[in-house]
A and B are shown apart, each in its own frame.
Chain A
Amino acid sequence: MPPLPAWGAPESEPLLAVEDLHVEFVTRQGTVKAVNGVGYALHPGETLAVLGESGSGKSVTAQAIMGILDTPPARVPKGRIRFRGTDLLGLSEDARSQVRGSRIAMIFQDALSALNPVFTVGSQIAEMFRVHRGMSRRDAERRAVELMDRVRIPGARQRLHDYPHQFSGGMRQRIMIAMAIALDPEVLIADEPTTALDVTVQAQIMELLAELKRESDMGLILITHDLGVVADVADKIVVMYGGRVVENAPVHDLYRAPAHPYTRGLLDSIPRIDRKGRELHAIAGMPPNLLDMPPGCAFAPRCPYRQDDCVTAAPPLHRIGSTRGSACHYWREVLDGSHG
Chain B
Amino acid sequence: MAATGDAILEVRDLVKHFPLTQGVVVRKQIGAVRAVDGISFDLRRGETLGIVGESGCGKSTLAKLLMGLERPTRGSVRIKGREIAGAKGGELKRIRRNIQLVMQDPYTSLNPRMTVGDIVGEPYEIHPEAAPKGDRRRRVQALLELVGLDPDHVNRYPHQFSGGQRQRIGIARGLALQPEVIVCDEPVSALDVSIQAQVVNLLARLQRDLGLSYVFIAHDLSVVRHIADRVGVMYLGKMVELGRDAEVYGQPAHPYTQALLSAVPVPDPEGRERRERIVLRGDPPSPANPPSGCRFRTRCWKAQEVCAQQEPPLQLRPGTWHESACHFPQIHDVIRAF
Q: Which residues of A contact B (CB under 8 A)?
A: 53-54, 154, 168-171, 198-204, 206-207, 225-232, 234, 251-252, 255-256, 262, 265-267, 269-273, 275-277, 279-284, 286-287
CB-based contact B219/A279 at 8 Å? no
Complex: A171 Cα to B279 Cα, angstroms: 15
Near A by CB (< 8 A), chain B positions 87-112 give: none
Question: Quick one: closest A residue to B259, CB to CB?
Answer: A200
Residues of chain A within 8 A (CB-CB) of B31 are none
Task: Known contacts A53-B193, A203-B277; decide if A271 and B200 are in contact (CB<8 Å).
Answer: yes
Smallest CB separation, B260 vs chain A (Å): 6
Say which size band chain B's interface belongs to. Answer: 35 or more
- In the bound complex, CA of A199 to CA of B338 (Å): 15
Q: Is the CB of A279 within 8 A of B269?
A: no
* A residues near B1, Cβ cutoff 8 Å: 277
Tell me if B267 and A283 are in contact (CB < 8 A). Answer: no
A199 touches B195 (CB 8 A): no
- Tell me the bound Cα distance from A284 to B202 in angstroms: 13
**Is B338 a contact of A271 with CB atoms below 8 Å?**
yes
A272–B280 alpha-carbon span in the complex (Å): 25
Q: Decide if B338 touches A201 in the complex (CB within 8 Å).
A: no
Residue of B193, B195, B269, B283 touching A232 (CB-CB under 8 A): B269
Which of B61-69, B151-159, B222-230 is the interface stretch? B222-230
**A199 to B219 CA separation, bound complex (whole angstroms):** 8
User: Once A and B bind, how many residue pairs between them come within 8 Å at the CB atom?
Assistant: 123
List the B side residues contacting A198 at CB < 8 Å.
54-55, 219, 284
Chain B residues proximal to chain A, CB less than 8 Å:
1, 54-55, 162, 164-165, 192-198, 200-201, 204, 219, 221-223, 225-226, 245, 259-260, 263-270, 272, 277, 279-280, 282-284, 336-338
CA distance A291 to B308 in the complex (A): 59
By DSSP majority rule, is chain A's interface helix, strand, loop, or mixed? helix
Question: Contact partner of A231 among B197, B265, B336, CB < 8 A?
Answer: B265
Q: Which residues of B contact A206 (CB under 8 A)?
A: 265
Residue of B225, B226, B265, B277 ringed by the most chain A CB atoms within 10 A: B265
Tell me which of A154, A201, A271, A286 contacts B164 (CB under 8 A): A286
CA of A265 to CA of B55 in the docked complex: distance in angstroms? 30
Which residues in B have their C-beta under 8 angstroms from that of A231?
Answer: 265-269, 272
With the chains together, A251 CA to B336 CA distance in Å? Answer: 19
Given contacts A277-B1, A286-B164, A270 and B194 within 8 Å (CB-CB)? no
Q: Report, nearest first, the 8 A-B pairs whose CB atoms are least far apart.
A: A228-B265, A271-B226, A198-B54, A282-B197, A269-B197, A203-B263, A280-B197, A227-B267
B270: contacting residue among A202, A252, A277, CB under 8 A:
A252
* Min CB–CB distance A294 → chain B (angstroms): 16
Task: Give the shortest distance, in Å, between B242 (CB) and chain A (any CB).
Answer: 19
Q: Which residues of A contact B164 (CB under 8 A)?
A: 286
Q: How far is the CA of A114 from the CA of B164 in the complex (A)?
A: 29
Return chain A residues, CB-CB under 8 Å to B282: 154
A-B contact pairs, 20 of them (CB 8 A): A199-B221, A200-B54, A200-B263, A203-B265, A204-B279, A204-B280, A206-B265, A207-B279, A226-B265, A227-B267, A255-B269, A256-B270, A266-B193, A271-B222, A273-B225, A273-B337, A275-B226, A276-B226, A279-B201, A283-B195
